[in-house]
Structure 1
Amino acid sequence: MSDAPDKDSKTEDPSQKKLEDAHKKGDVAKSQEVTTLFMLVGTAIIFSSMAPWVAAEVSASLRLVLMNADQFDVDGSGFAGFVTGLGMSLIGVILAPLGVLYLCGLLANLVQHRPLLSTEPITPKLSKISPLAGAKRLFSIDALINFGKGLIKISVVGLVVFLVCWPERDRLETMMTADPVMILLDVQEMAVKIITAVLLVVTLIAAADYFYVRQKWWKRQMMTVQETRDEYKQMEGDPHVKGRIRQLRQEKARKRMMQAVPDSTVVITNPTHYAVALKYEKNMPAPICVAKGVDAVALRIRLVAKDADVPIIENPPLARALFASVDVDQMIPAGHYKAVAEIIGFVMRLKKSSSWRA
């Protein structure tokens, strides 16, 4: 059985990472009909605004050649110079329309997707030159759909051109005997009419095709539940690894907490299940919890406090209350000031008494 996920199992919308990866590979929603539409717009611009200028420039260049034909040296190397000079005089006229078409082609891609630079589509692959893979692409459902779309587009555009040209059939017959300048003007006028009508039809075709291509691309990017989970693990990290990192952080915090116990003022215990180490100095507004724990951690706190000669006071209600209401490195709540002050006062008096006796 194939390991590729079934299309029916792709029920999840693609993640942003999946879309970004597809974009990097050059896999984007792109409709060729949108490109055709923009190229037709460029052609309409050329015919409507640039055709007179192009015709005038070409006419001037050719007129110059014909009027001075006897003066040009066309023997040997002179012929190459003649062709080069004529080409240079026409290159500006040619580049301007080509520039318009290039700009329209660029805009056609930018309106469909953001700028993209990827070598993935042109990277050599065996599947691209495989006769079997080529035959599958040639006789696939996609190829059949594209063939059908092409037939429909040609039929519709051909019908539109016929409907535009039919009322002008008498005018077309008289063009053969008309003045060349008038022929150019008539051709320009009819071309603009044809292109305008075709643009209206192609705009509808391009909109429908882009919607179809976009939906098809989106379905191709959809993910299975397992793919979503795998990607989440890849982005957020494996739960086991995250658990291990959390464990290491807790161990580091516990070690730092134990290092603060010898400097504490008093340790209040449950006596066996809870232990809270408090530190108080004269310049402090309130005592600070430097360590706390239950069971094994509480036992460790008591042992460290005992080795450091830190007083250990048993007060089960206060120990449980402090454990639940204060975090490490935080001041105790105001509600516990009185009870803690009594204990710290007792510890202070105890230390003074021990010092006097010593």
Structure 2
Amino acid sequence: MAEDQTDDSQKTEDPTPKKLEESRKRGQIALSREVNNWVMLCTGTIFIVAFSGPMMSQLADMMRVYIEFSHALPGMPGGLSVVLGEGVKKVFSIILLPLMLFMFAAFAAPFLQIGPLFAPEVIKPDWSKISIKKGFGRLFSMRSVVELIKGVVKICIVGLIAIIIISPYYSGFEHFIDIPITAVMEELRFLVIQMMVGVLIVLMVVAMMDLLYQRFEYNKKMRMSRQEIKDEYKQSEGDPHVKAKLRQLRSEKARQRMMQAVPSADVVITNPTHYSIALKYNPEEMPAPKVVAMGIDETALRIRELAKEHDIILYENKPLARALYDVAEIDEMIPMEHFKAVAEIISYVFKLKGRLN
């Protein structure tokens, strides 16, 4: 027990993307049920506000027709089954839309929180979870206490809102006896809408607080010790696929930095199609010209395009371009054996630019 507490106390680092991804694959995510419930309640409220009036009218009309023709049922062959069948169809057609809306809300609520997720491991049987000891541990855990408190708070909120909204109408309920049933249903509908909107507003705050709490608990649960991060790094570095991916990322970043340096060049020596070497020279700061970018084929073409965009002179010298590509390094001075040839080109370029008399 003390060992577990020590391990938990050592987990002070934020989880790595790799651990979060593996956790997501296992279906372990920060999901708030209160947000799901709020979305469902919001869907129900919107539906009642928008469609409950017409639905109640349809149901009232249907009941009125059945009551009016009920005396004729005994004389009709199979009359009761026909009426019941038609009634079921009518009721189904009325409730089909709300059923579809609630199904959509049931899928949309988790999607809005965590995005698309497919975790086959969640549905696999895990017999290790069947443990009386662990069951009691979960029953009396802090999470269970929080869930209990949330349940009590929600019941109190709903009850309080119901009392606040119904109280002004309590003395007037007696007049329901003297008005048509349709008017009674309309007033009750308005009362229910008021209650649902009130509950919706308050539970929105509860849902937001629960969402923040669930994410806090999830991040706390996913924390790692420094040793775990080191072990994960070593494991990842040993994976050839990860190494290849890292090399690719480093190569792409290096290429981006190189392309960003092309506009600072003074001249680009070309092959002219297969090789491009971008050189920069500042006599006051550099003992010799420096290679800021170089490449072949598509990279060479992109260097030439950038040079044209920034009015950098393109100088064709096939042997020198190939030689520099073979021996020069990016962000390094050119090799000494090429000083003379490059100096002539730099001198020519500076004269064109008026930087050398």
1:101-135 C-alpha deviation (Å, 9 max, x unpaired):
22222232122111212233332222443322222
Distance 2:27 2:64 in 1: 49
Going from structure 1 to structure 2, the CA distance change for 1:89 and 1:4 (only over 3 Å counts) comes to same
Distance 1:182 1:49 in 2: 18
Letter in 2 for 1:334: H
Distance 1:184 1:101 in 2: 23
**Gapped regions of structure 1 (runs ≥ 5):** 247-282, 293-321, 338-358
Query: Which residue is 1:86 aligned to?
Result: 87
Query: Which residue is 1:231 aligned to?
Result: 232
C-alpha displacement of 1:63: 2.6
Query: Which residue is 1:95 aligned to?
Result: 96
Going from structure 1 to structure 2, the CA distance change for 1:120 and 1:83 (only over 3 Å counts) comes to farther
C-alpha displacement of 1:290: 12
Distance 1:331 1:221 in 2: 52
Going from structure 1 to structure 2, the CA distance change for 1:288 and 1:46 (only over 3 Å counts) comes to closer
Distance 1:60 1:39 in 2: 29
- Whether 2:210 is the aligned partner of 1:203: answer no
- Taking the TM superposition and a 5 Å limit, the aligned residue runs for 1:1-358 are 6-72=7-73, 80-237=81-238, 284-285=319-320, 333-335=337-339
Distance 2:135 2:68 in 1: 56
Going from structure 1 to structure 2, the CA distance change for 1:287 and 1:211 (only over 3 Å counts) comes to closer
C-alpha displacement of 1:217: 0.8
**Gapped regions of structure 2 (runs ≥ 5):** 248-317, 342-357
Going from structure 1 to structure 2, the CA distance change for 1:287 and 1:142 (only over 3 Å counts) comes to closer
Going from structure 1 to structure 2, the CA distance change for 1:285 and 1:201 (only over 3 Å counts) comes to closer
C-alpha displacement of 1:182: 0.9
- Figure out how many residues of one structure are paired with residues of the other and give that number: 266
Name which one, 1 or 2, has greater alpha-carbon Rg. 1
CA contact (8 A) 2:157 2:199 kept: no
Q: How big is the alpha-carbon RMSD for the aligned residues of Structure 1 and Structure 2?
A: 3.7
Going from structure 1 to structure 2, the CA distance change for 1:114 and 1:78 (only over 3 Å counts) comes to same
SS of equivalent to 2:113:
coil
C-alpha displacement of 1:326: 9.6
Query: Which residue is 1:352 aligned to?
Result: none
Deviates more, 1:186-195 or 1:283-292: 283-292
Moved over 6 A (4+): 73-78, 289-292
Letter in 2 for 1:197: G
TM-score, scaled to structure 2: 0.64
Going from structure 1 to structure 2, the CA distance change for 1:172 and 1:236 (only over 3 Å counts) comes to farther
CA contact (8 A) 2:36 2:109 kept: yes
